[in-house]
Amino acid sequence: MKLLKKLSIFLVIVLVVTNIPIVHAAEKEGLAKLVLVPLDDRPANVYFPQQVGNSAGIQVITPPKEIIGYFNTPGNSEEIVEWVLNNAEDADGFVLSSSMLAYGGLIASRTGEKPLDDALEGIEVIKELQERYPNKPIYVYDTIQRLAISALSEESLIYYNQIREWAILYDKVHNLGFEEDRERLEELEAIIPEEVLDDYLRARARNHEVNKRLIDWSANGYIDYLVLAQDDAAPHGLHRAERELLVERVNELNIQDKVSIFPGADEVDVVLVSRFVAEFFQESPTYFIEYGGIHGKDWMAPLEDTTFDENVEKHILSAGAKITTDEELADIHLILNTPTEVGGERSSDIENMVHRIKELIDANKEVAIGDVLLVNKADEEFVTILADTVDLTKILSYSGWNTAGNALGITVGHATARDVFLKQKSGFGVPVYKETAKAHYEFLLHRFAKDQGYKNVVQPLANNFIREIGADQWNLVEHYDVVNQFVTEQLTAETLNWYSHFDGKRVYIGSRGNKDFYSTIEGLESIHVELPWPRTFEAELEPILNLK
């Protein structure tokens, strides 16, 4: 293990860190400090990993918002590198998005604007960090480019669908010999503007070369662990051939234990923060996996290109945990809300899942829930019955956000980090237990209010409101303020509704020796809501709880 336990040294309160000045290193405020260069500035890549880190006593710092970009404005790679180096000396480890270092973020990575040489120069800081700090873990992640371009307007949404279909058909016709699809492929090639297709292919080729370089650096010891996350995909497409070449390279170099390739993207910050927590505390929790519907081996989730059981395994291992088939050996039970079998009763699956979760909680077992059934939102029927039946504060983690891989990684990352922290029975004062618990329950409340309250209730209302005022939901521009106010009012109300399941609950916060500590959730001090980008796809939601 690269990290030594230093638990008796840092008995201070964990705080959420924001707006670290570029020229100064941030003071350490947790049991350890982790430098995170995020995929972009959205909550999934900043707030989520910070809260997960805080729930385990780990301070996760990110570059100032003004240098990591906004919407379709790329981050400033040079300033980000400077910030990383300024904070590296006092850091205990690094989680680095090479998409941000190389291109300026996820959206910028989907355009061919930045040349390969410039992209490679941006990631050189990875080697520099390893050479300067060989005993500090360096975790890196990148994406295998998704099938489609970014949808940043109603017009680009047309190209989004056309490019996606073209990439699938190109693979089927030219790589796999599906001649029956050639006519449609040629139709699309006549429709899609040449400059749009050229830019798409230029970005793919450049990104693939960067991914190969990262694999080589993993073999050479510059990177301790690498995740290549397959952004939104399908069984066929240009990504398939790219992925096969990358897997072949990993196998040739015999570094399967250092590189993981799986469907996902926005959850990887959380997954790698969890891995750092597990390594720092030298703990690796064990999962027992239970499917609420069909088994993962029989399901390929939407926008993914592997069977779901494979994705589950890779996310758990990447998060620093293990899997067992013996329920008695499990630290955490992972309940996955998968589709109902053909001919089965959906209501029966939900009833059985909720009953099982309650049974486990009543037996004092740790339960993580992956609500992976639907894309972009919670399964409303499931979470409604769950909330009416189970004390939500007894659940270790929950996520139903975005793709199955996203939801899976968020719930596994949160559960792993929190479980690892709670296993520590010495070295902490009550303030540390209280502050980590505060972050944990805030994030748990956030998850239900966001994944159900926002995605199923507020976002549809907001999109209807946008249509009524004649705005574009993909780029609100001058309508941003009025839509943001609408979302703030509606999501605040939804968060208050979900808070009723947390209010007044006496919650376990940790143990020291044989003594257990508890707090009571006594109030919801504030709720921050804001649209991070001029669209309604995601919303910032940061509730602040009062624990006594």
pLDDT computed for residue 155 by the predictor? 67
The SS3 call for residue 181 is helix
In a 13 Å sphere around the CA of 431, the CA atoms on its Cβ side amount to 9
541 closest CA partner among 473, 452, 475: 452
Inter-residue contact 427 to 531 (CB < 8 Å): no
Q: How far apart are CA 146 and CA 489, in angstroms?
A: 34
The token duo for 455 is: 């995605």
The SS3 call for residue 75 is coil
Domains and CATH numbers, the chain: 32-146+200-279 (3.40.50.2300), 154-191 (no CATH), 284-424 (3.40.50), 453-548 (no CATH)
What are the DSSP calls for 477-507, one per residue? GGGHHHHHHHHHHHHHHHHHHHHTTTTT-EE
The SS3 call for residue 386 is helix
CA distances from 146 to 20, 60, 157, 169, 226 (A): 32, 28, 15, 15, 18
Q: CB within 8 A of 257, min separation 6: which ones?
A: none
**Do strands 506-512 and 515-530 pair parallel, antiparallel, or not at all (unpaired)?**
antiparallel
Q: How far apart are CA 369 and CA 450, in angstroms?
A: 15
Inter-residue contact 207 to 248 (CB < 8 Å): no
pLDDT computed for residue 398 by the predictor? 99
Inter-residue contact 452 to 400 (CB < 8 Å): yes
Name the residue type at position 350: I
Q: Which residues of the chain have pLDDT under 70?
A: 1-28, 151-156
pTM for this structure? 0.93
Inter-residue contact 433 to 517 (CB < 8 Å): yes
The SS3 call for residue 350 is helix
Q: How far apart are CA 491 and CA 462, in angstroms?
A: 10
The SS3 call for residue 325 is coil
HEC readout, 463-478: HHHHHHCCCCCCCCHH
What are the DSSP calls for 22-40, one per residue? TTSPPPP-SSEEEEEE-SS
Q: How far apart are CA 250 and CA 241, in angstroms?
A: 14
449 closest CA partner among 382, 521, 542, 385: 542
